[in-house]
Structures are given as C-alpha cells and as structure tokens.
Structure 1
Amino acid sequence: MTDASMTRPIRVLVVEDDPIAAEAHALYVQRLDGFELAGSAATGSDALAILRGQREPAGGVVDLVLLDMNLPDLHGLDIIRRIRGSGSSVDIIAITAVRELGVVRSAISSGIVQYLIKPFTYSAFSEKLGNYRQFRENLQAQASSTTQSEVDNALAALRPASQGSLPKGLSEETLRAVVSFLSSASEPVSAVEAASALELSRVTARRYLEHLADSGSARRMPRYGTRGRPELEYTWNR
C-alpha cells in the first residue's frame, strides 16, 4: 500500500437506479470527510463497465462501491460475483431495502464489508462509512505482515456501535418507523401529523423528528398560516 493511497480520499461509486436515492447517497458521500464521489451508475452493467475501465494510478480508481441489490438489469449478488470473478478487490457496501436473510448471508459470504438497510438516516450512513474508513486505515497502517491483535482491531471497526448510541428514551424500531414515514412523505409533515399516522403521542413524534433534524437527516422549518405561534414541520433531507 503506497503512502498516496493512505492519504488520498476514499473514492466511492454509487450504484442505485432510483434517481432521488442516488442523488441523496451522492450528497451524503460528499458531506463526509475523507471520502470523494467517483461517480454514479444506474445499472449493474454500467457499474461493471466503470470498474473494468479503471486504471491505477489514474484518478478514476474506485475504492468503495455503494451497491443497491435490486437493479433493473442485474441482482446485486450477481454483480458482486462478477466483480470478484474479475479479480477486483474493491470494497462493497450493500445499501438496499432487501431484508431476506438468504440474501444477507449470500452478500456477506461474497465479501461485502457492510450491509445498510433502507430507509436510513444520514447519521446511520455516516456511522457505517466512518466505521469502514477506520477499518481501512487500521489495515493500511500495518506492515507487510500483521498480528492477531492487529487483525482483530481492524475488524472491530466494522462492528455496529453498542446500544445506547440513540438518546435516552428513543428506540431503533420506532426510529425506523419515523424515518420510513418521513422519507416517503410527499410534503413536509408536522409532529401532529406524524403522531397520527404512526399512532404515537405528539411529544414522542416530535422527539424523533427533532433527533432526525439534529443529526442532519431531516430539515425543520416553521409552518406559517396556523393560529398561534408557528408550528414546526419536517422534511426528509434527500
């Protein structure tokens, strides 16, 4: 591993057929320190063509692929197999709505480094890629040979954060429900509207919406035109 590869940004290829999701993932990458957007592909064929065309040490090298598993031409598992069959060692993070255990197991056995289930918050995306960056840096810091403890430390960076990363009183299950509701909403929603749709109290809905706004996954703004003081409304940060 050269010094240049250790200091330059990690170049990321976004593979996603939904244009809104692709744009969001690209923007997320550009917000992260230590990462650089290498490009986007809407099909598996386009992604494979981009990867086949890379020539080191040219600037077009791709270090990490963010791969949707459901693409119009190829399944994500087939793309992973073709990438590995070509001899490429590019790292892959699956970003997908697919939850079937068989697909998850096959993806893991094919060598992905992370599996991120849609919909997710920017903070979850940031955590996954931050863990990956730490894993990569831990490995690159080693000499040509390594020790068991150094391997363990590198792999530990990929493990999910311990429970308690959410503010006290918030649960992952309810957060996923709020994220799903907000990210699919066609217009800004208030805490009252979220509470009604998700059968939560207004106070509870507002706590989750505020958490998403504070983490950068949603935007908050005043809603004018109502009686009394303006009510806050929230929009998913696409």
Structure 2
Amino acid sequence: MKPSLFQKCLAEFFGTLVLVLMGCGSAVLAGSHVGFLGIAFAFGLSVVGMAYAIGHISGCHINPAITISMWVTRKLPAADTLGYVVAQIAGGIVGAGILYVIASGHADYSLATNGLGQNGVGDGSPDHYPLASGLIAEVVFTCIFLLVVHGSTSKNNTTPIAGLGIGLTLTLIHIVGIPVTGVSVNPARSIGPALFVGGEALKDLWVFIVAPIAGGILGGIIWKMVDTWKKV
C-alpha cells in the first residue's frame, strides 16, 4: 500500500525538523568545538540519515526548493507539492523552536548574540559578504544541489545509495558556502531560525526564499535538458 499524502507530509515535517535541529544545532550548540567543517557535515549527515528514515515514504525532500523543482519537472503533483512545502516550513519552525529551548538552558546563551544558525548577507553574513554575493551563491549552489538530486533519483541512474550522494553534495556546498551566507539552499531551513531571531535575519529572509527556489527551478530545467539530450 502506498503512503497517504498525510503520511508523506508527516515524514517531510519530521525530516525537516531533524535537519534544522541538527544542522543549525551544530552551529549553535557545538560550533566552537567542531568549526565550519563540522557544521557542514552535520547538515549533510542529517540528509543522509533522513533519506534512509523517510526516503521510501516521501522521497525525503525536506526542502521546498527540491519539492518545487520536482513539481516543475512534473515529478510531483500540485497537491503533494503544496502539502510538502507547508509541512517542511512547519518542521523547520518546530526544529528551530526545540533548538532555542535547548540553547536557552545555557547561562551564557543569548538569542540576540548567539542566534539560531540563521542565514544572512552583509552584516549577517559570517564573513560579511554583500547581498549580490549571497544571491549568486544561493542560486548557483541550489542549482548544483538540484542537479545532483534529480540525477541521483532518476530512474535512468544505476548508481546506488542516492541519499549518500545527495548528503555529501550538501556537505560540499556548506564547506564552500558557510562563510558567504551560512548556506541555506532551503527556504524551510532559513524560515524557522529567522522567525525566532527576527531583526536582520527576518529582513534578509527573502533572499533565502527567492534564491533557493530560483536555483532549484534552474537546476531542474538544466537536468531536464541534459536528461532529454541523453535519450536522443
């Protein structure tokens, strides 16, 4: 029996919650111990783990940019697309909320000072990269990410362990991109922390909604062109 839409959305909710809790949590709770490299692996390993946990139920998108790209390339119905995106955003918010509760238990923690692993440009960028750099990075990195997602999950792909390739690609993107924006490539990952932190994080949030979705659509279109060419 195939999973219902409710079961799929529940899986997406839980998977995105884990991604935000563990990925952003690595920055907030363990950043001083593991550094940027450790944070990069935390995000990638979260995707790998969830791919095995919920991949057979929902496909483990846990990212509106992936879901919308799947819809644009006609791999996902509109009803599922809407349900997935709502569930992913809700999961990201709850994940950020749990992280906030945990972090608040430390006497030295301050939401204004330490944040919740939110993304940013300009003064909100880890290395103070400007808006233009952040936009380009998020579009290009998400495009690359979606090329890997589409290729790894294609019926024509005989390479096993798609979740591992996708997770390692996300790790690679974080290794390169954390200094620029903190790396989003996922609107749900950005929305949750920004809603709690507010201020500049909320002001810059549009970047991490628009750019990943644009990059995801672009990645889907490019993959479709390449995949169609291969069949000719």
Answer 1 or 2: which has greater strand percent. Answer: 1
- Quick check: which has more Rg, 1 or 2? 1
Q: What's the TM-score, normalizing by structure 1?
A: 0.25
Answer 1 or 2: which has greater helix percent. Answer: 2
Q: What's the TM-score, normalizing by structure 2?
A: 0.26
